[in-house]
């Protein structure tokens, strides 16, 4: 039995490669995305807010909570998005860092040696308090590099 692919907006329906869904209203999450953009030398990562249609469709298709914006979802290959191969929270961050291909990303990825349970406990603690500590993202903030605009989906 084949699973039905989520309805995808035409701009990225044919994309093959990794996609990272993040909380588009979180300052910390947006800063993390900007860091990943800078570290991703090959420009392979694509990004979309969890609140957007592409992420919402994906979450529902895979039985993930569509209203849980305290997580991060890494999809290793959008062309195979029907497979449940996603990574959540700290595992998603580690997967994204490994793809970046820079020494700085490798240094940050040392966290993979911290046990998964501890990483996710820290992730959840920060996620619960992120708006209080970091605030909400001002969507009018421009990207530092215009060429990054095409790497974002709705």
Q: CA 100 to CA 66: how far, in whole Å?
A: 27
Of the chain, the percentage scoring pLDDT greater than 90 comes to 35
Predicted confidence band of residue 7 (pLDDT cuts 50, 70, 90)? very low
Q: For the segment 28-74, what is each residue's pLDDT rounded down to a tens digit?
A: 998 889 889 988 988 999 999 999 999 999 999 999 999 888 889 99
pLDDT of residue 143: 67
CA distance 69 to 78: 20
148: confidence class by pLDDT, cuts 50, 70, 90: confident
Mean per-residue pLDDT of the chain: 83
How far is the C-alpha of 147 from the C-alpha of 151, rounded, in Å? 8
Tell me what pLDDT residue 15 has. Answer: 79
Tell me the DSSP string of 77-95: -GGGTTS---EEHHHHHHH
Query: Each residue of 110-135: pLDDT tens digit?
Result: 777 888 889 889 888 988 988 888 88
> Does the pLDDT at position 144 exceed 90?
no
pTM, two decimal places: 0.84
Whole-number Å distance between alpha carbons of 82 and 6: 8
Rounded Cα distance between 67 and 139, Å, is: 20
pLDDT at residue 6, as a whole number = 40
Asked if residue 11 has pLDDT above 80, the reply is no
DSSP letter for each residue of 8-65: --TTTTT--S-EEEE-TTBHHHHHHHHHHHHH-TT---EEEETTSHHHHHHHHHTT--
Tokens of 145: 């590099």
3-state secondary structure of 114: coil
Q: What is the rounded CA–CA span in Å between residue 39 and residue 60?
A: 30
């Amino acid at each position: 039995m084949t699973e039905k692919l989520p309805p995808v907006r035409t701009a990225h329906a044919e994309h093959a490669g990794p996609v990272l869904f993040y909380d588009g209203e979180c300052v910390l999450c947006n800063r993390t995305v900007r860091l990943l953009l800078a570290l991703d030398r090959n420009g392979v990562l694509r990004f979309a807010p969890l609140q957007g249609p592409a992420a919402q469709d994906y979450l529902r298709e895979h039985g993930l909570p569509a209203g849980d914006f305290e997580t991060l979802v890494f999809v290793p290959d959008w062309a195979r998005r029907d497979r449940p191969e996603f990574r959540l929270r700290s595992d998603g961050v580690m997967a994204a860092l490994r793809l970046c291909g820079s020494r700085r990303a490798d240094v940050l990825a040392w966290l993979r040696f911290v046990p998964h349970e501890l990483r996710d406990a820290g992730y959840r603690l920060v996620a619960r308090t992120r708006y209080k500590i970091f605030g909400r993202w001002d969507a009018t903030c421009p990207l530092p590099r215009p060429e990054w605009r095409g790497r974002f989906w709705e």
